[in-house]
Chains A and B, each alone.
Chain A
Amino acid sequence: MQIYFQHARLSVYSKQKIPVCWADMQAVATNPVIEFRDVSYRVADTQVLSGFNLQVYGGETLVLLGRSGSGKTTSLKLVNRLLTPTSGDIRVKGLSNKDADLIRLRRGIGYVIQDVGLFPHFTIERNIGLVPKIEGWPEERIRARVQELLQTVGLAPGIASRYPHQLSGGQRQRVGVARALAADPEILLMDEPFGALDPLTRDELQREFLILRQRLHKTVVFVTHDLREALRLGSRIALMEAGRLVTVLAPEDFLRSTDPLAAAYVRAFGEGLESAANRGTS
């Protein structure tokens, strides 16, 4: 047990300790940027989400952690109203998103999904520049913005004229992130954005995500089922199970948590490392 904990601390923690200043943030931003108020969502006979209460504060990365079917993706889609709650209210920047103009709301929120969903018939430049374009930005400003964003996500400028099918999976997801950032939204919703990538590319993108977050100060809601990713990227981790919020913890508290589900996650995570270590020694 002890061995694996050290492992976990070394591999996850040491890299992860970047100054995100959670304490500062709480002092500055007392009003949540996103707030779920007693939200439930059911479709047909399935209660996907029930009694869900959660606040997401400015500049933090809140990770929704849970297994498939726990309601984390649903929660995310409720924020940009791809889904409408059965009951309860979701407030984005203090405004109930029932009253918000749907299109305006969505354009103010960057959305990144696992399958990326780049438009296959558009060049990378058009993909990234689509929202600015329909927002009526002048052509030159769009082009400059696209170049700036390509640099931000670590892609060569020449890629702008290519098509999505000519890119690798990692490059495509970088474009996905760039596209979400195009109109400089305050909020980013990310649904397992790195889930389909190979481990090394994922690691690379996670690292860049941390750097990016420090630079851009976005409020991020990040869905994952990967504890390692949650520990690494999250300011706080909201643990979900069967449509309910179990607990919200800072990453450093997560490993020490006595909550049975959180402990189960840590155990499952540790066992992988432990068994790998044991195979090496025996």
Chain B
Amino acid sequence: MNVFRFMLHNHDQVLELTLEHLRLVGFSTLLAMLIGIPLGIGIAHRPRFNKPVLATANIIQTIPSLALFGFLLPVPWLGARADRLAILALTLYALLPIIRNTYTGIRGVDAAVVEAGRGMGLTESQLLFQVELPLAVSVILSGVRVAVVISVGLATIAAAIGAGGLGEFIFRGLAMVDDRVILAGAIPAALLALLADFGVGWLERRLQPR
């Protein structure tokens, strides 16, 4: 119970780091959605590009996170601020599940439905926004859900390059060999992951087509 006493005692800092953590995860996920969803739609409509795009996202996924942070450090504008860098790295990691699920979701829409829609004279954008996306939305969101959960975990490592977040506690605790401090970072991070999982999952069910 020492952990909770420690957290209570340092509640200002716990809150601050949690918000920082949320900021890293939130921005990176948003960015990944802005890039990943259109990209996923693009490769679903032009299957020619699906292999190279998915392969690239796959390769990014295999780079160890600490190494990716390190790689990006010398990049001029990025390296100037640790949080920028962290957000970019987290975005790159979140891309794969989002692109892949968008692709799968759009491809999974019944071909007869798309053909009927096109035959009726829907424009390509009407087809996308009124038919394909609504029918794919729950698959896309389940990709976002995976991305968010991964990001919450990965974002703790961002503290290693000084980007803040709950990782601060973890690294500090490791250095001090103090379990309380480690857990003060790990517990809120785990809760965040659960909360995000639950939240996006709820949204996913709400938006599920019949």
Contacts and interface: CB of A to CB of B under 8 A. Distances in A.
Nearest to A77: B119
Interface string A110-129: 01010111111100000000
A103 B135 contact: no
Contacts of B131: 119
Contact of B120 (A104, A120, A130, A165): A130
B119 A82 contact: yes
18 contacts: A82-B118, A104-B121, A106-B119, A106-B120, A111-B119, A113-B119, A115-B112, A116-B112, A117-B112, A117-B114, A120-B113, A120-B209, A120-B210, A121-B135, A121-B209, A130-B120, A165-B210, A189-B119
Interface of B: 110, 112-123, 126, 130-131, 134-135, 209-210
A163 interface: yes
A121 B115 contact: no
B115 A113 contact: yes
A35 to B, nearest CB: 20
A82 B115 contact: yes
Contacts of A119: 113, 117, 130-131
Given A120-B209, A121-B135, A121-B210, A131 B110 contact: no
8 tightest CB-CB pairs across the interface, nearest first? A117-B116, A106-B121, A115-B112, A107-B121, A111-B119, A121-B209, A117-B112, A117-B113
A163 B210 CA distance: 8
A117 B115 contact: yes
A134 interface: yes
Contacts of A174: none
B205 to A, nearest CB: 14
A40 interface: no
Nearest to B137: A121
B210 A117 contact: no
Given A105-B121, A120-B209, 16 more contacts: A103-B121, A106-B121, A111-B116, A113-B112, A113-B119, A116-B116, A117-B113, A117-B117, A119-B113, A121-B134, A121-B209, A121-B210, A131-B120, A163-B210, A176-B116, A180-B120
A106 B122 CA distance: 8
- B113, B116, B119 — which one has the most chain A CB atoms within 10 A of its CB? B119
Interface in A29-88: 80, 82
A101 to B, nearest CB: 10
A142 B120 CA distance: 16
Contacts of A236: none
Nearest to A179: B120
A48 to B, nearest CB: 17
Contacts of A80: 119
Contacts of A163: 210
Contacts of A107: 120-121
A117 B110 contact: yes
A112 to B, nearest CB: 8
Given A111-B116, A113-B115, A131 B210 contact: no
Contacts of A130: 120, 122, 130
Contacts of B130: 119, 130
A111 B135 contact: no
Given A134-B126, A165-B210, A120 B119 contact: no
Given A104-B121, A120-B135, A113 B110 contact: no
A159 to B, nearest CB: 15
B99 to A, nearest CB: 23
B121 A120 contact: no
- A106, A109, A189 — which one has the most chain B CB atoms within 10 A of its CB? A106
Contacts of B117: 117, 119
- B116, B126, B134 — which one has the most chain A CB atoms within 10 A of its CB? B116
Nearest to A115: B112
A63 B86 CA distance: 64
B115 to A, nearest CB: 6
A30 B210 CA distance: 48
A113 B115 CA distance: 9
B120 A111 contact: yes
B134 to A, nearest CB: 5
A126 to B, nearest CB: 10
Given A163-B210, A165-B210, A118 B120 contact: no
